[in-house]
Structure 1
Amino acid sequence: MDYGYVNARIKGMKSHLLDARDLDDLTNKPDLDALIGALETTAYREELQKAGIEYCGIARIEVALRRDLIRTLRKVLNLFRGEREDIYIRLLLNRWDVQNIKTILRGKKIYAPPDEVIDCLLPAGELDEAALIELLQQPDVRAIIDLLATWRIEYARPLTRHLQEFLEMRDLAVLEFALDRFYYENALSVLGKNGDYDEQIVREMITTEIDVANIRTALRIIRDMTHMEDAEKYLIAGGRDLSIEQLTSLVSSGSIEEAIRQIRGTPYEFLAQVPAECIAAEKISVIERELERFLIEKGCGNFLKDPLSIAIPVAFIWAKQNEVTNIRIIARSIIGDVPETELRKALTYV
């Protein structure tokens, strides 16, 4: 793999990312027109102009951001096409397949209009936009799973195994967790335990994601007072720093406050800095935001690792995703008239 060439291209793409000063400038915009005007001086200009033909306001921004992110991630993947390391990039991008299938299933369960659901999808993985649209056109959850099976899409396997349980419980979390477990277990089986430096970089991110997913699950189990025998089946083995035994102990603690206390001494002890009133009120969304910030910072931290390795593309994927998220937050905050100080707290600077 010629990382000298590939990472030079990636670094060229990185040079177009917005820095902290650029983001702060966007937070000062008084309305969406001013925000769009500022974004048209950035790498988002082309997609904003295309989107402007059909959309206006927040929809124009959302569509442009979505299309730009898809195009950028595809560009990264194309740099690896035909190379052995292609599998590592695909593993990271396939996270969006899982998220897209979840989004389609949720939309179908609540009878959401397909046009609304499609705007929430990001065809950056194996399932392209045409495939996602066809899935959206299916009449119900079973038909979606059947179509995935007909296409021999690997995610049909866990969904099919748990379909009857879903039909009996009518709880979409059954299918969503089955997807998550399958994705992470498959990723770990591909990566192995004693791979080369590139494998170690990707494995570290995947296993950290497992930790974060497990912490989220444990906190929700505590909040919802799920029975312990049911709780353990929703935890995923293979996390980087937290074993199943540790996670079971968190769930058994009985309160979110005690669970966070038990996390001290691990890389996740920063959760103790979450305001006490949020923890007491069991505001899991606040805790989840800090976990997501941790993941983003860890992903982008790969820019500081070996410049002739997969670390640079991995870091760029996380940085680009974070930038799009930040711009979305800014746009929605302008609509909601969120105070600038609060808006900046919601952003993740890397």
Structure 2
Amino acid sequence: MDYGYANARIRGMKSRLLTHGALDDLIMKPDMDSLILELEKTPYKDEIQEAGTKYSGVYHVEYALRKNFTNTFKKILGFVEDTPAEQYIRIFLRRWDVQNIKTILRGKSIHTTADEIVDCLLPVGDLDDVTLGELIKQSDMKAVIDLMATLKIEYVKPLMRHFHEYSGENGFMIFESALDKYYYDNALAWSRGRSYDEQFIRKMLQAEIDVVNLKTILRMARDKAEPAEAKILLIEGGARLRMEDMVPLLEAKSVSSVLDRLKNTQYNVAEGIPEEHLRKEKISGIEKQLDRLIIMKGLNAFNGDPLSIAIAIGYFWAKYNEVTNIRVIARCKTADIPEERLREELFYV
């Protein structure tokens, strides 16, 4: 297809992403009110003003970010409507259907309020605000799954297959793994052709599978799970880590041992992790480093064929990174996190 028009529009949108200086201006604001006023000077102005009629504080910012993210990708889908590129972009946006379902189910499992669940959602996939809202209204996890079945939401299939295996918080990873497997299996099937676009998307998805698997392995090492128990949670089809490569990682007796075995791979993320975190087996910082690898790979898409889907995918990750950074700033302002720690949480690109 001819990507000329769509990619020209997307490059124009990229030029309006916040600079490092603009992010620094947000960081330096002393409180939430001044942060909101500063955001009104950015491309988030319309959504910030709309949110102000409904919310205050961090909820004001969260709503505006969700609305802007959703509007942005609806606009991009409009550029490529009824073309193969629309399907390629939807492959990536459907990850948020999976993430939103995970969030709702986890919220129900720990009795989180509806407002707290909504604050964690990004409705940019096929499941819109209304559908997600109806799922959130359900009383418990089973009721959510039953409604998904009634509404014929395709992601109910892996949940129903594995529902008998679920047993409280420790069993939640079974649901998460089942949803991830379902998403990635389908995404790889949708992009199995030989065109540049399909090969590009497939390589991106395969790298993500590696990262999802490494996060699972780290959690299993931290929790001292049996290798056989952990193996069933892994996803086939990664870029560099085949099942036979991951079995030795599953047999590692600690988080540090897993990281040692990754030292000679592209997933060497041990550097910079505080020794205390390794000793106490805190994996959040390691997971963040793995996320950064994927974000960087996504951003490198801008160096791909300028007349391909690569530009849209690069913008997808750049926009996601920007929204994530603003979210971190807003939440840190609410919690009075010192500036130094706040900056450690951000990922500048």
TM-score range, shorter chain: over 0.9
Between 336-345 and 71-80, report the one with greater CA deviation. Answer: 336-345
- What's 1:56 paired with? 56
Tell me if structure 2 keeps the 8 A contact 1:70–1:124.
yes
Distance 1:168 1:27 in 2: 39
Indicate how the Cα distance of structure 1 residues 49 and 169 shifts in structure 2: closer, same or farther if over 3 A, else same: closer
Tell me if structure 1 keeps the 8 A contact 2:209–2:237.
yes
- What's 1:257 paired with? 256
Residues 1:78 and 2:86 are matched in the alignment: no
Indicate how the Cα distance of structure 1 residues 63 and 224 shifts in structure 2: closer, same or farther if over 3 A, else same: same
Distance 2:10 2:239 in 1: 27
Q: Deviations over 1:301-343 (max 9, x none)?
A: 1112211111110011111111011011111222333232222
- What's 2:284 paired with? 285
Percent sequence identity is 48
| C-alpha deviation, 1:166, in angstroms | 1.4
Tell me if structure 2 keeps the 8 A contact 1:322–1:348.
yes
Tell me if structure 1 keeps the 8 A contact 2:181–2:235.
yes
| C-alpha deviation, 1:42, in angstroms | 0.6
Residues 1:315 and 2:314 are matched in the alignment: yes
Between 91-100 and 137-146, report the one with greater CA deviation. Answer: 137-146
Tell me if structure 1 keeps the 8 A contact 2:203–2:239.
yes
Tell me if structure 2 keeps the 8 A contact 1:162–1:175.
yes
Structure 2: gaps of 5 or more residues: none
Say what the alpha-carbon RMSD is for the aligned residues: 1.6
- Superposition TM-score, scaled by structure 1 size: 0.95
| C-alpha deviation, 1:168, in angstroms | 8.4
Tell me if structure 2 keeps the 8 A contact 1:47–1:68.
yes
- What's 1:115 paired with? 115
Tell me if structure 1 keeps the 8 A contact 2:109–2:168.
no
Tell me if structure 1 keeps the 8 A contact 2:269–2:290.
no
Residues 1:5 and 2:9 are matched in the alignment: no
- What's 1:295 paired with? 294
SS of 1:100 mapped into structure 2? helix
SS of 1:94 mapped into structure 2? helix
SS of 1:269 mapped into structure 2? coil
SS of 2:171 mapped into structure 1? coil
Q: Deviations over 1:247-304 (max 9, x none)?
A: 1111112121121111122211133442333222211001011111111111111112
- What's 1:97 paired with? 97
Indicate how the Cα distance of structure 1 residues 30 and 188 shifts in structure 2: closer, same or farther if over 3 A, else same: same
- Superposition TM-score, scaled by structure 2 size: 0.96
Distance 2:124 2:24 in 1: 28
Structure 1: gaps of 5 or more residues: none
Runs of at least 4 residues off by over 6 Å? none
Q: Deviations over 1:131-185 (max 9, x none)?
A: 1111122232222222222222221111110111115887222212110111111
